[in-house]
Amino acid sequence: MDLQELNKLLKTQLAHLLISIPDSKDLVLDADLTKPLDRVAGIKFLKEHGVEKLYILERGQKTLPGCGKRIYLVRPSMVTMKYIADQIKSEISSGEKRSYKIVLVPRKIHVCEKILESEGVMGHVSIDEFPLELFPLDKDLLSLELPELFTSFFLDNDTILLHTVASSLVNLQRLFGKIPNIFTIGKGSKMVYDLMNYMSEKSEDKKESKHQIGQMFIIDRDVDYVSPLCTPMTYEALLDETYKIECGVINFDTSGDGKATAASKLLLTSQDEIYTQIRDRHFSNVFSYLSAKAKELQALYNKKNNLTTVGEMKEFVAKELRQLKHQQKILEMHIGGCEHIMKTKEKTDFEETIKTEQCMLAGVETKESMTFIEEGIQKQIPLLQSLRLLCLLSITQEGLSSKDYKAFKTAFLHSHGFEHLVTFFNLKKLGILTEQEGIAASPRVLLPPAFSRKSSYRFLNQKLNLVPKQTEDIDLRDPKDVSYIFSGAYTPLPCKLVEQILVRDSLIGLEDVGKACGGIHSEIKVKNRSLGTVRGAQNIVDPTMKVVLVYFLGGCTFSEIAALRFISKQYDIRIIVATTAIITSYTLLDKVVERNNR
């Protein structure tokens, strides 16, 4: 099973879209579509299919230069439709003659057409859609690149983007066959499952190919907020938090101007041997590998000193030298990346932060943890850093006492501004930062589900042993426990649930856990799928049962991806991770923080 088939399908669909408008045309893109489109197709592909110039859609652009045909490739938002309508009206009034096509990604929405009608430009445009859904970032990683789904669904209770998730699963199963065993964890995931089945039944394409994926888990992000709020300790997760990995591409430039050059950009995939070796390692175990690799490359480079004939020299230059220089360049980038991560952490109270997190997770030294967070707020350390620790405290304590909640809230508002009353409202609505007495004291007031939802952290920790009792036994160099990703302090709940369900061969014994997670639903068509009886899953008759898709609704972190890779090696199975977006604690919280300049 090759995930690149998804990429090929998207390129074919994009090619048909572009050649539907013959000759030269200009392409105007939504800013957040540039990186996904570059990953799926690339500039060369666009040029080969008649794209003359590429523009980014920006607010206030009255006109754009270019040829007589233009395609807008944009997300279906009302604000974007208004920008496009203003641009088209401005160009028509200035006498420009041009044909316009608006392509909505991933699908057409009726309200967009209504806005174009009300703006009086509907007669000048044609409308189409491009289903840019799941596409591969690596051989075991698919992304929808739809970060707005988190706030849209979990904060605003808007289900419109669940259609895109369900559609992505329908199209995935058209390529790789219908998945027989499906588990949903959380209310949103069950909605996606029901919608997926409805869309499959309504589909005209009833042809079924043999399934290549045996089992699928769809998991709500709100099942576990602890994982994204913990400080990551694996190399890839730290890279994402420090530099921000976008569509699998990192910009190692630290000049601060944000402009990436070819020399500073690197595509991070499993095709890079060095990266494959270090991406999921605990950060403390990365430098030793890079050091050994540097010595190995130097020894290979020194081979040239022992070459005696012109033929040997020519062969060395032709076959080995270019590859050695390429690997040396990548090695230098990763060494520089490690050094920058360490410098960044040195600027913060990193050791004390980790200690505080571990105490909160273990439920010890609560007063000391609260004092540390309070001091950070008073010192005005970065806003998201304080908020992350405060949210982690609230979840692990299953809500703050009314007194503590009000004290932290007052201190935070005085330090960072009173606009953050909205921030606290949003976090309470999500169930991330809650007040124990505030919820219990108002039984007559009907609140949305997220308000009334109580953190089940202690219960789930007790049932599933999410916090190992003896963290000092975790070998970070050769880990035997998945909790190594957080230095032995915590095992991500979604990953633990996936492992437990695969090992048990049923949901028996997980009924209470399921209720605490918003419900676990299962549809099992192929039995005898347990991984528990024989480590390595050798007892499974159908080999596709060893191929497992884990789909995160609302985003997942590189820490969780590392944990699932660890489980896949442990049980000799293939786990493919799909997600609506890759997130960090900062990108998660930034979505709900109120800012004056927005």
pLDDT of 464-506, one tens digit each? 999 998 766 788 999 999 999 999 999 999 999 999 999 987 7
pLDDT of 277-336, one tens digit each? 999 999 999 999 999 999 988 888 777 677 767 777 777 677 777 788 888 999 999 999
Predicted local confidence at residue 491, as pLDDT = 97
- Tell me the HSE value of 214 on the side-chain side, using a 13 A CA sphere: 18
| 598 has a pLDDT exceeding 80 | no
Predicted local confidence at residue 452, as pLDDT = 43
Cα–Cα–Cα angle for 554, 559, 562, rounded to 5 degrees? 110
| 38 has a pLDDT exceeding 90 | yes
pLDDT over 70, % of the chain: 90
Residue 55 CB burial class (10 angstroms; 0-12, 13-18, ≥19)? middle
| 195 has a pLDDT exceeding 80 | yes
Provide the pLDDT confidence category of residue 451 given band limits of 50, 70 and 90: very low
Pick the more confident residue, 204 or 101. 101
Pick the more confident residue, 443 or 98. 98
Predicted local confidence at residue 533, as pLDDT = 47
Q: What ranges do the domains of the chain cover?
A: 3-131, 132-224+492-592, 235-248+260-347, 350-453
Its CATH class, for the domain covering 350-453, is mainly alpha
| 153 has a pLDDT exceeding 90 | yes
| 237 has a pLDDT exceeding 70 | yes
| 170 has a pLDDT exceeding 70 | yes
pLDDT of 512-561, one tens digit each? 999 999 999 999 888 765 665 435 445 556 788 899 999 999 999 999 99
pLDDT averaged over the chain? 90
Q: What's the whole-number mean pLDDT along residues 152-170?
A: 97
The superfamily CATH assigns to domain 132-224+492-592 is Sec1/Munc18 (SM) protein, domain 2 (3.40.50.1910)
Residue 208 CB burial class (10 angstroms; 0-12, 13-18, ≥19)? exposed
Its CATH class, for the domain covering 3-131, is alpha beta
Provide the pLDDT confidence category of residue 261 given band limits of 50, 70 and 90: low
Q: Do domains 3-131 and 132-224+492-592 have the same CATH topology?
A: yes
Predicted local confidence at residue 264, as pLDDT = 83
Predicted local confidence at residue 212, as pLDDT = 94
CB atoms within 10 A of CB 323: 11
Q: Supply the DSSP string of 269-298, one letter for each residue.
A: STTSHHHHHHTTSBGGGHHHHHHHHHHHHH
Provide the pLDDT confidence category of residue 15 given band limits of 50, 70 and 90: very high
Has domain 235-248+260-347 been given CATH number 3.90.830.10?
yes
| 94 has a pLDDT exceeding 60 | yes
Q: Supply the DSSP string of 351-398, one letter for each residue.
A: HHHHHHHHHHHHT--HHHHHHHHHHHHHTT--HHHHHHHHHHHHHHTT
| 257 has a pLDDT exceeding 70 | no
Predicted local confidence at residue 504, as pLDDT = 84
**Pairing mode, strands 181-185 and 141-143:** unpaired
Most confident range, picked from 338-352, 435-449, 571-585: 571-585
Pick the more confident residue, 63 or 285. 285
Contact 216, 549 (CB under 8 A): yes
Radius of gyration of the chain (CA): 26
pLDDT over 90, % of the chain: 77
Neighbour order of strands in the sheet with 574-579 = 135-138, 141-143, 574-579, 547-553, 215-220, 181-185, 520-523
| Candidate from 13-22, 46-55, 432-441 with smallest mean pLDDT | 432-441
